């Protein structure tokens, strides 16, 4: 089952600057070979359900290892069985109608 996820990992108890933890998560996602794109409030990830979820779990493990005692993550998870649709397809289906 393919999934498109929007992931936002928030470490607590480590101050206001959290970018180093986001960087660590980006590396995990990239090393997993997943298609992803960072935005200003999270990261879009596309891939097989199990591979994506394994990466999310590793993000929590690594961010804890880096010193964050607590993490509060939010995710959106989209699956569909009617047709194959990637991240770029979703954006294109909107922008094509914006310009139309």
Q: Residues in the site for its own copies, rule: CB under 8 A?
A: 1, 3-6, 8, 10, 12-13, 15-16, 18-20, 22-23, 26-27, 37-42, 44, 46, 49-50, 53, 56-57, 60-61, 64, 69-82, 87-88, 90-91, 93-95, 97-98
* b/e sequence 63-83, b meaning 16+ C-beta within 10 Å: beeeebeebeeeeeeeeeeee
Rounded CA-CA distance 6/25 in Å is: 13
Shortest Å distance, C-beta 37 to its own copies: 7
State in angstroms the smallest separation of the CB of 71 from its own copies: 5
Q: Which residue's CB is nearer to its own copies, number 32 or number 77?
A: 77
> How many Å apart are CA 45 and CA 52, to the nearest integer?
7
């Amino acid at each position: 089952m393919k999934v498109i996820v929007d992931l936002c990992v928030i470490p607590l108890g480590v101050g206001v600057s959290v970018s180093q933890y986001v960087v660590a998560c980006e590396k995990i996602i990239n090393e997993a070979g997943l298609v992803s794109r960072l935005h200003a409030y999270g990261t879009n990830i596309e891939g097989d359900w199990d591979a994506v979820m394994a990466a999310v779990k590793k993000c929590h493990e690594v961010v804890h290892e880096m010193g964050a005692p607590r993490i509060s993550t939010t995710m959106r998870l989209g699956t569909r069985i009617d047709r194959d649709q990637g991240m770029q397809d979703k954006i294109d289906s909107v922008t094509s109608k914006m310009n139309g």
